[in-house]
Structure 1
Amino acid sequence: MSKLYNTPFEASLRILLILETSRNQSFSADMLAAIDFISIYGKEFGISDENLHGENNYKFSEFTLRRELIKKAIKQLVLDDLIKVHPTKNGFTYSINQKGLNYSEYLSSDYATAYRRAVSLVREFTSDKTEREVLEFINRRSIYSLRED
């Protein structure tokens, strides 16, 4: 049986859900990784009542790995023509296209529903923050978590 969890394929499904939930917006790879991470571990950030992937003492060490998975997933999503690339003066951002929206409509599991809800909460929380502020928030929470243990 092939591995499904912690793969670019799994990350690509979550990226589609993020972009579907934020339809008319585009995000950098780092911002997508941050939204994904906070959505999965919302309880740790005071945004939701649960962590979608359960309790994990090493969750903050996952962030670097998730960033790499997100970058690989983005490449595949672009090649599959499910997301659009937008060049900016600060690099590239990504948004969902109609083909990606059509695909994401089929993502209808309980997990997909819970993840969409978590993304909406995270988007509301981050709406007035810059990418740098969001990444610093993750970093501060990571340091705080280490001190708690």
Structure 2
Amino acid sequence: MSKLYNTPFEASLRILLILETSRNQSFSADMLAAIDFISIYGREFGISDENLHGDNNYKFSEFTLRRELITKAIKQLVVDDLIKVNSTEKGFTYCANQKGLNYSEYLSSDYATAYRRAVSLAREFISNKTERKILNFINRRSIYSLQED
């Protein structure tokens, strides 16, 4: 049996859901990783009553791995022509193209529905924050959680 969880493929499905939920917006790889992380661990950010992936003591240490998975997933999504790359003065950003939107519409499991809802809450949570502030916040929470253990 092949591994599905914590793979670029799994991350690519979540990226498509983020971009579907955020139509007409583009995000950097770091921002996609942050939205994904906040969506999965919503309770830790006060936007949900539960964490979609359950509770564990090392959730904040997962953020570095998630960033790597997101980067690999983005590369594959670009190769598969499911997302569009934009070059900006600050670097590359990514948005959904029609093929990616069509694909994501087929993702209709209970998890996909819950994740879409979590993404909407995460986007509302970060709406008035810069990317730098969001990443710094996650990093500070990561350090704090390590000190607690």
TM-score (norm 1): 0.97
Alignment of 1:85-104 (within 5 A): 85-104=85-104
Q: Counterpart in 1 of 2:59?
A: 59
Aligned amino acid, residue 78 of structure 1: V
Which runs of at least 4 in structure 1 moved beyond 6 Å after TM superposition? none
Q: Counterpart in 2 of 1:72?
A: 72
Secondary structure of 1:95's aligned partner: strand
Sequence identity (%): 89
Aligned amino acid, residue 141 of structure 1: R
The answer on whether the counterparts of 1:16 and 1:100 sit within 8 Å (CA) in structure 2 is yes
Q: Counterpart in 2 of 1:46?
A: 46
5+ long unaligned stretches in structure 1: none
Taking the aligned partners of 1:107 and 1:3, their CA distance within structure 2 comes to: 19
Aligned amino acid, residue 44 of structure 1: E
Q: Counterpart in 2 of 1:37?
A: 37
Q: Give 1:144 shift.
A: 2.7
Secondary structure of 1:87's aligned partner: strand
Secondary structure of 1:24's aligned partner: coil
The answer on whether the counterparts of 1:29 and 1:70 sit within 8 Å (CA) in structure 2 is yes
5+ long unaligned stretches in structure 2: none
Secondary structure of 1:16's aligned partner: helix
Aligned residues: 149
CA-atom RMSD in angstroms: 0.8
Taking the aligned partners of 2:147 and 2:45, their CA distance within structure 1 comes to: 15
The answer on whether the counterparts of 1:33 and 1:66 sit within 8 Å (CA) in structure 2 is yes
Taking the aligned partners of 1:113 and 1:145, their CA distance within structure 2 comes to: 29
The answer on whether the counterparts of 1:45 and 1:141 sit within 8 Å (CA) in structure 2 is no
Taking the aligned partners of 2:147 and 2:62, their CA distance within structure 1 comes to: 17
Q: Give 1:128 shift.
A: 0.8
Alignment of 1:23-34 (within 5 A): 23-34=23-34
Q: Give 1:142 shift.
A: 1.7
Taking the aligned partners of 1:87 and 1:7, their CA distance within structure 2 comes to: 26
The answer on whether the counterparts of 1:82 and 1:96 sit within 8 Å (CA) in structure 2 is yes
